[in-house]
Amino acid sequence: MDIKTVGLASDHAGFALKQFVKQYLDEKGIPYKDYGTDTDASCDYSDYGHRLATAVENGEVYPGIGICGSGEGINMTLNKHQGIRSALAWMPEIARLSRQHNNANVLVMPGRFIDNDMARNIMDEFLTTDFEGGRHQRRIDKIPLKPEK
């Protein structure tokens, strides 16, 4: 994967894990930009998910990492954007396959359901796995909605 600057976003339930993600990225020497939230005070995942998705679509950051309690809400928000292929991963194998087969450009993790060691293993796979292309590209090309003629 060709990492530019990793974009980060979380809600309050993902805040603690996002702090660990920052530490992990610092250890790896990978730059990042945090789109919020900045505290563990209750907030809406969608506010921060949209910010991250827009930044990935605009090429400001690549890839992105989003976190909320279950991972579901922020993942749904991210995938509303046509240029986003966000993958919810709770184990390393899913992160690897989301890159190999789906060319995922955002990783989502469930902050309330994985520990830091699992998050590290998931990020290791996601950030080092390349897209295979081939038959998978044809499938990815069919994901964005096309206006009807």
> Which residue among 12, 43, 81, 101 is the active-site one?
101
In the annotation, is 43 catalytic? no
In the annotation, is 68 catalytic? yes
| 68 and 114 Cβ atoms separated by less than 8 Å | no
- Residue 90, token pair as written in the block: 């709770």
> Which residue among 43, 50, 68, 81 is the active-site one?
68
Q: Rounded CA gap, 69 and 37, in Å? A: 13
Dihedral over Cα of 133, 55, 57, 65: its sign = positive
Active site residues: 68, 101
